[in-house]
Amino acid sequence: MRQNRNMRISILGLLAAVCAPLFAQTPVHLRVDATDAPRRLFHVQMSMPVKAGPLTLMYPEWIPGEHGPTGPIVNLVGLKVQGGGKTIAWKRDSVNMYAFHVDVPAGVTSLDVAFDFISPPENSGFSSGASATSELAVLSWNQLLLYPQGSQPDDLQYQATLRVPNGWRYGTALPIAKESGNEIEFQPASLTTMVDSPVSAGAHYRTIDLGTDNGIPHYLHLAADSDRALEVSPEVIGEYRNLVKEAGALFGTRHYRGYHFLYTLSDHVAHFGLEHHESSDDRYDERTLIDPDTQRVSADLLSHEFVHSWNGKFRRPSGLISGNHDGGYDTPMQGDLLWVYEGLTEYLGEVLAARSALWTPEDYRERLAETAADLDNKFGRQWRPLEDTAVAAQVLYEAGSDYSDYRRGVDYYPEGTLIWLEVDVTIRQLSKGKKSLDDFCRTFHGGPGGAPALKPYNLADVVAGLNAVEPYDWAGFLNERLHSTSAHAPLGGIEHSGWKLVYDGERSDFWKAYEDAEKLTDLSYSVGLKVKDDGTIADIAFAGPAGKAGISPSTRVIAVNGRQFSATELREAIDRAVKDSKPLELLIKDGEYYKTYRVDYHGGERYPHLVRDESTTDLLTEIIAPKVKK
């Protein structure tokens, strides 16, 4: 696969030599003025080499790592195109909203394009969601540039300068040419590298050295809404330094020149992580790194995104290579292998969080119990096989959170954890402890290392990679799990690694931290409700007692057995009903109407846990043990 790609590039190089001028020879000059970022406005000016004749300018649509057409075209405003000192009319394509047609007059060799980008205030979404506050901003270059249709992002060069508000500091993986005052001039970079290299900046900013390995540096750049949020303890910094070493031990080779975690800490930006080759755009609550409970529930965010540098950026399913070639960012992506791209990353990100001491072994097991219970109780398993959640990724990320266990969401993340754990355990058992999934990672994700590279794969490559580590019917193993419509989740990885999924009436510390972070009470496995602190029913278990009683999501619990709702009152009523034959009475407000529902449930509170099965060897503890001596 790699050889073909190199051939393609050399053929293009040849074409460039014979039919000049192509865009590759003169860089596009891009100036971004972010001094109005606190008002959520970014000003863009581009100067682009052109030839006379029809030209189509494209705004990136299919954003790498987001697996969908998420480019925020609706927030591009004030578009002006000029050439030879005169305004040139543009016309948006009637079908493709991301395409602008212009006719370049004879004699014009350079086009000046200007527009503004409105960074939205909403908290939802990914990089196109809220990205700027009065104190900080995250810049995604794909939102701040246009490119000529038909050009290859690998071959198109951009020379960018960026102005940030006075006094703001910044971090990025994009190589810098020089700085002066609040202006940064970057080295010329391909469009691929630009889109892959966001910048975080802010008034409250701290860069922490996470250590160098074979000359390759690692940094944690924190942009926060307050100075207090930057006061990370030496212990937490030590855990992230462990992460750098443990990832090196897992994969062997690093496919980057340096790695930059851009961690944005704010309650007013979208919360997510987006992977890049040499950085990640990670965003969570303002107090994440100074509040132990928030740190606990989010500890695998950075490890997940870091793993993507190997699994997702360097090795990528061929269907997810929009952008790098084959037509630029207007090429639709195909998500059918996201259970490898995201699922394996989810598994490894959690394992690395435990190996790095970001999680205790108990934290890891409680998260795994949560994942297993969630999937094992999904009503929608009986109509929707896991593979369909991956194929439908481009619409599922935006799906509502109501009736989620009937619909199924982007389940290839958590179910990827279960499947890859089972792969790991199976390799360990078949090889009698001599091999593990770590061996697969070292070969499948190995290579010369150094600068970012891309090595595409398909399902046959994954199967061949597994067979090279340990021969087995891996195609059959994977296909069975991908296409199953069994009512139950694949729990073989847990069971064969010496543990059992059980339920009891006690919430773990991990579960309490999750409920606090989400501001809800999760009674999914007992009465079948997830209730927010104000009584709003976030969701129901479709086949659970509350669902069977006719209660629907997005309504609101007003009273429990005649007394005003509170989370404590609801929990205690469930506990009292164990010894009471009367149903639970819930007064529910639905729009402007009130109705009492009787829920006949007497099983008490139930929360998932993993307990040791002494009849089986404990492989799980070995899997999550540190591999690097501390």
Where does this chain bind Zn ion (CB under 5 A)? 342
Q: Read out DSSP for 393-438? A: HHHHTT--STTHHHH--STTTHHHHHHHHHHHHHHHHHTTTS--HH
**Closest CB to Zn ion among residues 283, 609:** 283
**Closest CB to Zn ion among residues 281, 342:** 342
Q: How far apart are CA 80 and CA 74, in angstroms?
A: 16
Q: Identify the three-state secondary structure at position 513.
A: helix
Q: How far apart are CA 280 and CA 345, in angstroms?
A: 14
Would you say 306 and 255 are in contact if contact means Cβ atoms under 8 Å apart? no
Q: 10 Å Cβ neighbour count for 561?
A: 17
Minimal distance, residue 342 CB to Zn ion, in Å: 5
Q: How far apart are CA 432 and CA 71, in angstroms?
A: 48
Q: How far apart are CA 595 and CA 178, in angstroms?
A: 66
Q: How far apart are CA 457 and CA 26, in angstroms?
A: 33
Minimal distance, residue 300 CB to Zn ion, in Å: 11
Minimal distance, residue 282 CB to Zn ion, in Å: 11
Distances (CA, A) of 290 to 210, 229, 285, 520: 18, 6, 10, 22
Query: Tokens standing for 83?
Result: 């050439």
Minimal distance, residue 514 CB to Zn ion, in Å: 19
Minimal distance, residue 308 CB to Zn ion, in Å: 6
Q: Read out DSSP for 199-232? A: EEEESEEEEEEEEEETTEEEEEEEEESSSGGG--
**Closest CB to Zn ion among residues 170, 306:** 306
**Closest CB to Zn ion among residues 68, 535:** 68
**Closest CB to Zn ion among residues 266, 345:** 345
Element (H, E) at 612: strand 607-612
Minimal distance, residue 604 CB to Zn ion, in Å: 36
Q: Which residues contact 460 (CB under 8 A, 6 or more apart)?
A: none
**Closest CB to Zn ion among residues 374, 470:** 374
Minimal distance, residue 276 CB to Zn ion, in Å: 11
**Closest CB to Zn ion among residues 342, 388:** 342
Minimal distance, residue 222 CB to Zn ion, in Å: 21
**Closest CB to Zn ion among residues 66, 405:** 66
**Closest CB to Zn ion among residues 286, 342:** 342
Minimal distance, residue 320 CB to Zn ion, in Å: 11
Q: Which residue is nearest to Zn ion (CB)?
A: 342
Distances (CA, A) of 313 to 286, 324, 378: 28, 11, 31
The beta strand positions in 182-302, using DSSP E, are: 183-186, 189-190, 199-202, 204-213, 216-224, 259-265, 272-275, 279-284
Would you say 139 and 201 are in contact if contact means Cβ atoms under 8 Å apart? yes
Task: Provide the Cα torsion 176, 37, 136, 271; round to 10°.
Answer: -100
Rounded to 5°, the CA angle 413-295-239 comes to 90
Distances (CA, A) of 451 to 254, 259, 322: 9, 11, 20
**Closest CB to Zn ion among residues 246, 342:** 342
Minimal distance, residue 391 CB to Zn ion, in Å: 17
Among residues 520, 514, 59, 132, which one has the least CA distance to residue 295? 514
**Closest CB to Zn ion among residues 342, 415:** 342
**Closest CB to Zn ion among residues 304, 407:** 304
**Closest CB to Zn ion among residues 278, 342:** 342
Minimal distance, residue 574 CB to Zn ion, in Å: 36
Q: Identify the three-state secondary structure at position 532.
A: strand
Minimal distance, residue 585 CB to Zn ion, in Å: 43
Minimal distance, residue 82 CB to Zn ion, in Å: 40
Q: How far apart are CA 355 and CA 337, in angstroms?
A: 26
